[in-house]
Amino acid sequence: MAILVTGGAGFIGSHTCVELLNAGEEIVVMDNFYNSNSRALDGIKEITGKSFKFYEDDMLDMPAIDRIFADNDIEQVIHFAGYKCVPESVQKPLVYYSNNLRGTFNILETMKKYGCTKFVFSSSATVYGIPETVPVKEDFPLSAINPYGSTKLIIENLCREMYAADSSWTMILLRYFNPVGAHKSGKIGEDPNGIPNNLMPIVLDKAAGKRDVLQVAGNDYPTPDGSCVRDYIHVVDLAKGHVAAVKKARAMNGGCPAYNLGTGNGYSVIEILDAFQRVNGIDLGYTIGPRRAGDAATTYSDPSLAEKELGWKAELGIEDMCRDAWSFRKIREAENK
């Protein structure tokens, strides 16, 4: 019995594969390397000393998904594969809806065909839109403020409706806050193709001399230092949250709960940049810039439901996140020389 990890070569997927293997799970990994590369697979094997089956396939290729289920005894699916760049989703809504939704339909239809009923979905705190209060709890109102967010919300709704129609489905919706960091070995980390738009990859590019400007996107928000506050979570903690979810799904006989995966602590952009400089001894030379459109001033999680029901709690702090992210990047820079 194996766990199929779609998008398993990606940032969160690869760290989750490591934690699953370390927990003694058997995994089958699928990825089309759209926003990842095969070095992540080598990294997973080096860290764990374990091997696994890998399929270089696209979620839109239904016969390929079918083959994976025909060839393996898939007990559960963790579904990461999908496009995730918010500004790009605003430019190309049809591409985002088409890819993220059709990929999910394909996996769910194939699961149904093979009688596989346990699904863990890589959702996002984006489903809360701009929350009215913090900390954010799972029962807060849901809304989408961009096409990327719409795809997450539609898939969440689909899961809830599928469970309502057929209570044999166990679907666990994991709402990530802001994943950053890397495995402490430096063998896997965030390695996106193209120009990044999230804070930490931009910081890493600046630290590596790959970009000239690093700006705090606004310092006139109603927060202690004026910059936006987010709930940054170390990707290894996040990955462990998936191991807890898989165990929970195994113990459940139907249901569709959602869990926040965050630390419950909010840090400002300036606090993150200062922590990065402090732990890595690097002067980022950042400046204050204008606000970025669509940003909430403050958002952070209440992670207590995940602690209570999954027995999971984030353990690493922002210093670990900043140090591990930079360790990975330094190794990649040296390899690329």
Q: Which residues bind ligand UD1 (CB under 6 A)?
A: 84, 86, 124, 126, 149, 178, 197-199, 202, 215-217, 228, 230, 269, 292, 294-295
45 or 211: whose CB is closer to ligand UD1? 211
Burial class (CB in 10 A: 0-12, 13-18, 19+), 120: buried
Q: Considering the candidates 55, 83, 128, 148, report the single residue annotated as catalytic.
A: 148
> Nearest distance from residue 199's CB to ligand UD1, in Å?
4
Question: Residue 304 Cβ, how far from ligand UD1 at the closest point, in Å?
Answer: 21
Nearer to ligand UD1, 110 or 178 (CB): 178
Return the HEC string of the chain: CEEEEECCCCHHHHHHHHHHHHCCCCEEEEECCCCCCCHHHHHHHHHHCCCCEEEECCCCCHHHHHHHHHHCCEEEEEECCCCCCHHHHHHCHHHHHHHHHHHHHHHHHHHHHHCCCEEEEEEEHHHECCCCCCCECCCCCCECCCHHHHHHHHHHHHHHHHHHHCCCCEEEEEEECEEECCCCCCCCCCCCCCCCCCHHHHHHHHHCCCCCCCEEECCCCCCCCCCCEECEEEHHHHHHHHHHHHHHHHHCCCECCEEEECCCCCEEHHHHHHHHHHHHCCCCCCEEECCCCCCCCECCECCHHHHHHHCCCCCCCHHHHHHHHHHHHHHHHHHHC
Specify the residue, 97 or 114, whose C-beta has the smaller distance to ligand UD1: 97
CB nearer to ligand UD1: give 82 or 257.
82
Is 148 catalytic? The answer is yes
144 vs 305, beta carbon nearer ligand UD1: 144
Least distance in Å: CB of 272 to ligand UD1?
8
Give residue 267's Cα distance to chain centre: 19
In the bound state with ligand UD1, the residue whose beta carbon lies nearer, of 295 and 333, is 295
CA–CA dist 270, 258 (Å, integer): 31
Work out how close the CB of 255 gets to ligand UD1 at its nearest, in angstroms, rounded to a whole number: 24
Q: State in angstroms the smallest separation of the CB of 35 from ligand UD1.
A: 12
Report which residue's Cβ sits closest to ligand UD1.
228
Q: How far is the CB of 69 from ligand UD1 (least distance, A)?
A: 29
Positions annotated as catalytic residues are: 148
